[in-house]
């Protein structure tokens, strides 16, 4: 296209030179004709005057020819301008100071949705949205009063009521009339406006989430803080962002993390991991402004920027309570494990003592009496046989009792209700009446929970027998409010609950077992007034209950 225009200009210049050369040749020919046609008797002055007139005529003709050539060039330029003006992909128009359309091109007509003839004489203001017309009037006024280039973006409405966004650029145009006018260019920027509005909406959402989040929100560049929300300031007990912004990510941290790594080096490592992988999650030990330590969970998310740089979004969440709960849980588990081991060792000692002092002594006595049995049927031998039989019966009973304590066969064979009643029957004696009452229990109680309840009932009964010095006692087993409830009452001498809590292995193990099952243990006891113990266990208790052996207070 550029080559074609340059060729046309060269051709026009060549035609102009040819026309001028023709004029010069004609002028030279006429000058010669005049010189030859002048009579000989004409004076030299007259001949000179004729020649000058001829030269002036030739110059006038040449100037006329040049004007014709200039007119052709002007018409051609005007035609090109009209083509560019009419068919440009931009709306062009001329408006009066009051917004009246005086001239417009085809694209302006297309933007406004009406033929050009119907638009001429109408005010462009009518095509501007109502809430933006004041801005448009100020825009026109600024062009007229300042004479400088003005720009405005506003919503406009076509003849069919469809809305589009237009960017107007214009300035006042010189005019011969007293009424000023303005030249405007209209650009349809609807798509750009939609993209801009979407970006603005997203930015507002992000800013709202950033500022209003209860979690700490930060932005980092080159692993240094560039912005943060108020939650971060509250967590660090700061009053101004200036105390944090610009500092390294390891600011307000001890020199070393609890695992011994340097905080500065570790923070840079996490930064690199977030940039390379896109995100990074970790726990961090930080210090508040007053030096108080706290734990936080950190999530870094890399946001790629231009020229290969990265902006990193960081979210903080204070997990100090969770870490303390984890530490307390670990301590409780360790204490429970210690209690289990201690109880197991104590149970082994109790079994050894029972075997040695009970069963062992009975068998040894039986052996001694067997030594006194002689062949024959004398009275001494009969007494020895009778004594041996009694001792062996006692040994068998002790063996059965010990076996029953170790393995609850009644529970396995007849269920929890029968097993608890069996405990009361075994523990009752001429000096202690231990009664038992079991209400109807729900079906589907887990085996582990049944064993746990049985062991607790066994523990309570043994404590009453060994320590209460009671004459009347009662075990009550029932269900209610989604729990299974075991109650024990005796009229014994009572005990100091606080002292027993610190020194008694039995109650300590019982408490640990109840806690393991998310249950509740309540003890009420006064000296010489008996003891009341209530254990409440949820029916949905853990299926992995730890069964502790029975032990005394």
- CB of 474 closer than 8 Å to CB of 480: no
- pLDDT score, position 38: 58
- CB of 520 closer than 8 Å to CB of 535: yes
What would the two tokens of residue 364 be?
A: 């040894």
- pLDDT score, position 546: 43
- pLDDT score, position 386: 78
470: left (phi over 0), alpha (psi -120 to 50) or beta: beta
Domain coordinates in residue numbering, the chain = 13-86, 88-194, 213-318, 328-406, 408-553
**Low pLDDT (below 70) residues in the chain:** 1-17, 19-42, 78-83, 340, 343, 354, 356-360, 364, 369, 372-378, 400, 403-408, 499-506, 541-553
Residue 232, Cβ density class (10 Å: 0-12 exposed, 13-18 middle, ≥19 buried): buried
pLDDT (tens digit, 9 = 90+) per residue, 73-86?
Answer: 777 776 666 667 78
- pLDDT score, position 209: 86
- CB of 104 closer than 8 Å to CB of 120: yes
408-553 under CATH 3.30.565.10, yes or no: yes
Any idea which architecture 88-194 has in CATH? 2-Layer Sandwich (3.30)
Q: How far apart are CA 496 and CA 404, in angstroms?
A: 31
Q: Across the strands, what pairs with 525?
A: 531
| Homologous superfamily (CATH) for 213-318 | PAS domain (3.30.450.20)
- pLDDT score, position 369: 67
| Concatenated DSSP letters of 310-327 | EEEEEEEEE-HHHHHHHH
The strand pair at 224-228 and 279-287 is best described as unpaired
Which among 434, 427, 366 is positioned nearest to 401, based on CA atoms? 427
**Beta carbons within 8 Å of 364's beta carbon, 6+ residues apart:** none
Please give the angle made by the CA atoms of 542, 548 and 552, to the nearest 5 degrees. 135
pLDDT (tens digit, 9 = 90+) per residue, 389-448?
Answer: 777 777 777 776 776 666 667 787 788 888 889 889 888 888 889 999 998 888 888 888
What would the two tokens of residue 198 be?
A: 């979407």
Specify the DSSP class assigned to residue 404. Answer: H
Q: Across the strands, what pairs with 433?
A: 472
Q: 352-372 as b/e, with b when 16 or more CB fall inside 10 Å?
A: eebeeebbeebeebbeebeee
- pLDDT score, position 309: 80
Domains 88-194 and 213-318 share a fold: yes
Which among 451, 532, 548 is positioned nearest to 491, based on CA atoms? 532
């Amino acid at each position: 296209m550029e080559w074609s225009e340059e060729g046309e200009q060269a051709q026009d210049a060549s035609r102009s030179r040819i026309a001028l050369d023709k004029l010069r040749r004609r002028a030279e020919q006429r000058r010669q004709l005049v010189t030859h046609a002048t009579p000989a008797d004409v004076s030299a002055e007259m001949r000179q005057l004729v020649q000058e007139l001829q030269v002036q005529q030739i110059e006038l003709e040449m100037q006329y020819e040049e004007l014709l050539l200039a007119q052709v060039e002007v018409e051609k330029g005007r035609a090109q301008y009209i083509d560019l003006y009419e068919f440009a992909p931009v709306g062009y128009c001329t408006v009066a100071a009051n917004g009246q359309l005086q001239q417009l091109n085809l694209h302006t007509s297309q933007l406004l949705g009406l033929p050009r003839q119907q638009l001429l004489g109408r005010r462009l203001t009518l095509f501007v949205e109502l809430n933006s017309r004041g801005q448009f009037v100020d825009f026109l006024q600024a062009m007229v009063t300042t004479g400088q280039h003005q720009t405005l973006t506003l919503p406009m409405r076509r003849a069919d009521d469809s809305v589009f966004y237009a960017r107007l650029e214009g300035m006042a145009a010189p005019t011969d009339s007293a009424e000023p006018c303005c030249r405007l260019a209209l650009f349809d920027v609807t798509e750009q406006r939609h993209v801009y509005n979407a970006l603005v909406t997203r930015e507002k959402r992000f800013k709202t989430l950033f500022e209003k989040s209860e979690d700490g929100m930060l932005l980092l560049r080159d692993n240094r803080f560039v912005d943060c929300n108020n939650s971060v300031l509250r967590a660090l007990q700061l009053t101004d962002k200036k105390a944090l912004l610009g500092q390294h990510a390891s600011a307000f941290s001890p020199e070393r993390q609890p695992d011994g790594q340097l905080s500065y080096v570790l923070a840079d490592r996490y930064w690199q991991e977030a940039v390379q992988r896109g995100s990074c999650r970790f726990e961090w030990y930080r210090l508040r402004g007053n030096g108080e330590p706290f734990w936080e969970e950190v999530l870094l998310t890399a946001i790629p920027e231009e020229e290969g740089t990265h902006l990193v979004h960081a979210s903080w969440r204070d997990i100090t309570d969770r870490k303390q709960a984890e530490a307390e849980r670990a301590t409780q588990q360790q204490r429970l494990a210690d209690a289990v081991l201690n109880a197991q060792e104590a149970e082994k000692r109790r079994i050894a003592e029972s075997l040695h002092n009970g069963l062992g002594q009975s068998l040894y006595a039986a052996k001694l009496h067997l030594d006194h049995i002689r062949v024959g049927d004398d009275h001494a031998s009969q007494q020895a046989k009778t004594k041996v039989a009694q001792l062996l019966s006692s040994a068998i009973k002790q063996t059965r009792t010990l076996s029953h304590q170790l393995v609850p066969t009644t529970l396995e064979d007849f269920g929890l209700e029968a097993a608890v009643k069996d405990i009361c029957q075994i523990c009752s004696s001429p000096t202690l009446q231990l009664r038992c009452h079991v209400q109807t229990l729900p079906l589907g109680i887990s085996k582990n929970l049944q064993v746990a309840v049985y062991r607790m009932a066994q523990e309570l009964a043994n404590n009453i027998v060994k320590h209460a010095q009671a004459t009347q006692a009662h075990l009550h087993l029932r269900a209610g409010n989604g729990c299974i409830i075991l109650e024990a009452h005796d009229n014994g001498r009572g005990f100091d609950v606080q002292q027993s809590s610190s020194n008694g292995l039995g109650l300590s193990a019982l408490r640990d077992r109840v806690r393991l099952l998310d249950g509740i243990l309540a003890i009420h006891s006064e000296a010489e007034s008996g003891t009341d113990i209530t254990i409440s266990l949820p029916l949905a208790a853990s299926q992995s209950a730890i069964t502790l052996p029975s032990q005394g207070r």
